[in-house]
Amino acid sequence: MLVNDPVKKALIISLVVSSISLSVKIGAFIITGSTAALSDAAESVVHFFAVMFVVYGYYLSIKPPDDDHHYGHERVEFLSVGAEGAIIIVAGLTIIYHAVMSAITGIEITNMDAGIVMLIVAALINLALGSYVVRVGRKHNNMIAISNGKHTLTDVWTSGGVVTALVLIHFTGWLFLDVVVSFIMAGYIMFEGYKLLRFSVLGLMDTRDENVDAALINVLENNLPASVKGWHHLRHRTSGSTTWVELHLVLDDEIILKDAHYEATKVERRLIDALKTDAIITIHLEPDEHHDEAHNLLDGANKSKDLDEFA
């Protein structure tokens, strides 16, 4: 475990501060009885448990490769982000449920002034916390931290919505605004949850990262050694802070192994330097004129797929 890991530090701070914010919101609901305040507190309960899962996911993601996980543990990032997205959506559905029940049973709100102050305090706490965690996540290119920070910032919007509703109710007496604002908040945070779920699914499906692809192709099209005659079958995927890249390089037929390895290593270094993440490059070397002839040996090796689908 890294002693001075800024991402780990940010997530631990997020966990501690989230518990404080949650306590303030629960207090606001207890003294007001507002359904919107209850919805805000319920979202924070879900958020607190989500942060616990995120912290565990990050600890797991930075574990080095072992005998059972040769590619490391970084792909848990997608599971962690997806779980947080799903939890946010559940929180949104919970808010809708409580809003409907409140509309049916009747709305009664008390101690609005104190409740408003408490929710403003909670919102300011989450604004500072969320901005800090997102900033750390972006600086270190860590989606676990970014998603956690964004989830914290949704708390700011939900608290802001509740405060707005309570202020309007205080001056107008329109109690139905409590329910209306609850529905609006639910829609917003569910949309944020959907975006996190989408990131998770795309990552688990190894969807092509356009920025990584452009950086790699720029090197392959403009910065190859003279002895490299071409390239093909470029594939890549990014997990956590590591990008895995595979490609085939075509070289002169007569090049000796030592020189071919040296040229491939130069390409490897240029590809790594082009990326913002760490990278592991696997290069398959092929002769120029006898490329197809060499591949004839692999015909029929795959049981149900053509060779070109894999190589």
Buried b (16+ CB within 10 A) or exposed e, 126-159: bbebbebbbebbeeeebbbbbbbbbbbbbbbbbb
Give bridge partners of residue 280 from the DSSP assignment.
244
Structural Rg of the chain based on CA atoms = 26
Domains of the chain: 6-204 (1.20.1510.10), 210-309 (3.30.70.1350)
**What residues contact 32, with CB distance under 8 A and at least 6 apart?**
109, 110, 111, 112, 114, 115, 166
* 232 phi, psi to nearest 5 deg: -165, 180
Q: Is 245 left (phi over 0), alpha (psi -120 to 50) or beta?
A: beta
CA distances from 301 to 138, 304, 305 (A): 44, 9, 9
- For each of the chain's 311 residues, which pLDDT tens digit applies? 444 788 889 989 998 998 898 888 888 888 877 777 777 787 777 778 778 877 887 888 788 888 888 888 888 878 877 887 888 788 788 878 877 877 777 666 667 778 888 889 988 999 999 999 999 998 887 877 888 888 788 778 778 877 887 888 878 877 777 788 778 878 877 887 898 899 889 988 888 889 999 999 999 999 998 889 999 999 999 887 789 999 999 998 889 999 999 999 999 999 999 998 889 999 999 888 766 777 777 777 777 777 666 65
220: left (phi over 0), alpha (psi -120 to 50) or beta: alpha
